[in-house]
Amino acid sequence: MIEVSHLLRKAYIATLSPINYLGKVIPIYDTFEKEAVTLPIGNSTQCFAYILIHDITVNDDSAKCGVNQNASIQVQVVTKFNANTGESLHSEIIGSLCLQKLAPNSQIVKITLDEPAYSWFGRMESNRPINSETATNRIFTKNYIFSHKINQ
């Protein structure tokens, strides 16, 4: 059995890259934000955006004859505005662009893992907004959870 977390993150980043929105490439990061891109949204409001791939959970589902795992992974689309400005629209549109790349023609998520593991079934389990506000920022996050059945 091998650890598949890094294989899942690598596959998601490869499948999603690049995400283009409003003429900008949205950066995709493994676990933590490094730098956000500034989106030109047409008024004086500043919007910063990035995508995080993280929070992988892997559970053993092996039978006597092979190694099987059930894995889940989170994709977070984050847009950040100055305090008292912004809307969720931009995180939702970027999220839709992600979904179009992950499942272009169906509900089945199509990713390719490095050998010796492969995902024979993947789907979106849930998506929900997680919005917050601080003294300096308003943050709109679209959180997607995907599950995969992985064989080795």
Q: pLDDT tens, 7-30?
A: 899 999 999 999 999 999 999 999
d(CA 5, CA 71): 8
State the pLDDT at residue 35.
82
Number of domains in the chain: 1
Q: What is the pTM assigned to this prediction? A: 0.90
Range of the domain at 46: 5-151
Q: pLDDT tens, 39-68?
A: 887 776 789 999 999 988 888 887 767 778
- HSE at residue 114, side-chain half, CA atoms within 13 A, is 12
Range 140-145 average pLDDT: 96
Residue with tokens 């996050």: 141
CATH number, domain at 61? 3.30.2000.30
Are 13 and 53 in contact by the 8 Å Cβ rule? The answer is: yes
